[in-house]
Chain A
Amino acid sequence: MTHPQKLALTVVTRRQALGVWSALSVAGVVSLSSLAGILAPVRKREPGYAGADKPTDIHLYAFRAPGTQRVVVAVTAPVALPGRFSASPPVETRFHIGAQTVTVPTARQMTSTEPRSHGDPRTFSGPIVMRIGTAPLVLQAAVLEFPVDTLKLNNIWAERVTSAGRRQRVASPFLAALIAESAPLARAYDAASPETDLIALREAVSSTIARMAERWHYPGDTLAYGQRLAGTILPDVLRYDPQLPQGFTFAARNGRHPDDADFAVAHSMLTGTPVSGNMPRQSAQLQTCFPYFQPASA
């Protein structure tokens, strides 16, 4: 495909990064010296693109812990979410894994629980550190760990709930990118659940995809493309079968590892065009033991 307007465009995320840094520095979680690191990555994007900014949005992961018979399901989120939950921060994260629901209270400091019986998850809540390129970024995380033999093919999604009862959903990178394109879609998404997605979101998701595809000069019928893709990404869940090859890739979407190049996969599929986005690579630099993510205090 050819794209006449493929110019790099800077989308400033520094304001959001500064907000995160300010909150954390007040709380003593990060040092002044890390400010330079937070400011360092100026992220390049393609024209007209306003998709999800990976470190400043909420993400759900499901993956096999390296070298173990354990499965990790985790949600990471900015410590502060400008414009969404600034007045009332989330107090808990609810994981929906198949028919099972696990609730993890939000913790400002590292908190973990041990499983009571086989099949129960070990849990972690607290601030963690990821790297975007070379820059560290502190995020709030809720992490579950299961023995692999207790999980089959599952549809996974999560929601963060505020003390005022507001909820914020998260599942696949597709919807994370789409709700960043459209505030009305974001509100509808947060108000819906997977069982109502096809009715509540299909039209808005289709039209948002069509707009993205049109901006990227998708050569075919963008409306038909939006409708077709909406039918495959809704209901919005992260599908994960630990028995199958893992990864959120162009070949398959089975779980999602924090280091997956899922930005490129999601945005290429949403635009119908191979899109790299010149994004610096995210790395969780996972540890070998629970909670696998690096606690911020480390």
Chain B
Amino acid sequence: MSHHFDIEIAREDPSLNLCDFYLFEGAPGNTVMIMTVNPDAGLSANDVFHVEALYAFRFDLNHDAREELAFKVRFQQPQHKDAQEHIHVQKFQVRKSSHSEALHGESGELLIEGETGAAHTQGRIKVFAGLAPDLFAGDAFALHGFLAAFHKEHRYDGDVWQHRQNFFAGRNITAIVLEVPTQMIGHGHIRAWATVSLYGHAPEKQVSRWGLPLITHLFLNDPDKQEIKEQFNESVPSRDVELFSGPIAAFAARMSGYAGSVVDPVEFGRQVAQRLCPTTLPYELGTPAAFDLAGFNGRPLGDDVMDVMLTLASNKPLEDGVAPDRRRTSTDFPYYGSPYAAAEQTGVVPVPHAPKK
């Protein structure tokens, strides 16, 4: 639910649903970037990447909310592995593009290529794309109740978080994991985000974006203004202050006002908007990543970002009572443990998807 199922196209085609983005230090001198798509892969979603999509990690190196560097991944048509009908394999390529090349298109220096389901190495560059356990954790039903109380009843309801049900427990996702020498990115403080764009026969069109957790589900989820979520996913960080700081500030002001947790809700709303816009993930390259109450510095696998964002939105300490399954992380590339096997998914109900229009 970080950004799972947040827009119509994502619900219709999960391979375009950019759910999460992680950024942290890998092997010494290396930086790891991960994006996830296909929520509930293997149950209600396929485990294949879109062949007409451009999956991109984008880096703002000079604090202008525009990317000067991007790593872009494209996948080929899926093939059945060893003639097994239910196991797909896709070839893919990773390219590095800089400056104006980073902004659009797929051109750039070919860094590494490979096949889904296996880790590949080229010098100090490593890549993996394939099925992985979903390490986002959150009580989706409680969030629904929390927002219903907020939008419909105009009140803060902190009691909804008592059930402690991780909606994502036992579910898989597909991940693109890329590890590169940190010097290939740069040094010092950078800001990063990830995007998925349709790219192929038609002109390039960005359909999904992730810069910080829960932006669409929490801050931009007014039932009467759902179009703003599509707008956010199609937009770029350099327009975030202009387009989204107002709605984000208004949400935080109302939430903290209902919670009675601040002296001046309007001032607090402005603080939250300044913290979250542009909506990109800050990181000091080469340092231990952490996304917690003490600050945002990249995001490692396993940090409980939902508690952080709930607390930030309301200025009230909030816990949803669930945490990522850290047993499913690894200290070695690709940093994920094994995906949940069918036997571990007993009782996990497939997520119903909206029918295609």
Contacts and interface: CB of A to CB of B under 8 A. Distances in A.
Given A268-B293, A274-B307, A259 B263 contact: yes
B29 interface: no
Interface in A1-24: 1-2
Contact of A261 (B262, B290, B303): B262
Contacts of B272: 251
A247 B271 contact: yes
Given A2-B323, A268-B311, A269-B293, A274 B252 contact: no
B317 A228 contact: no
Contact of B319 (A1, A232, A244, A265): A1
A252 interface: yes
Residues of A contacting B: mostly: loop
Contacts of B344: none
Contacts of A244: 274
Contacts of B21: none
B322 A2 contact: yes
A219 B271 contact: no
Interface in A215-272: 219-221, 224-225, 228-229, 232, 244-247, 249-252, 254, 257, 259-261, 264-265, 268-269, 272
A276 interface: yes
Given A232-B295, A274-B311, A247 B317 contact: no
A246 B274 CA distance: 12
B164 A274 contact: no
Q: How large is the interface on B (under 10, 10 to 19, 20 to 34, 35 or more residues)?
A: 35 or more
A297 B307 CA distance: 44
Interface in B161-176: 164
A275 interface: yes
B267 A274 contact: no
A219 B267 contact: no
Given A274-B307, A274-B311, A245 B270 contact: yes
B312 A269 contact: no
11 contacts: A229-B294, A245-B271, A247-B264, A247-B267, A251-B272, A252-B275, A264-B261, A268-B317, A272-B293, A274-B311, A276-B316
Given A246-B267, A252-B271, A275-B317, 10 more contacts: A1-B319, A2-B164, A219-B302, A220-B292, A245-B271, A251-B275, A254-B271, A261-B261, A261-B315, A273-B319
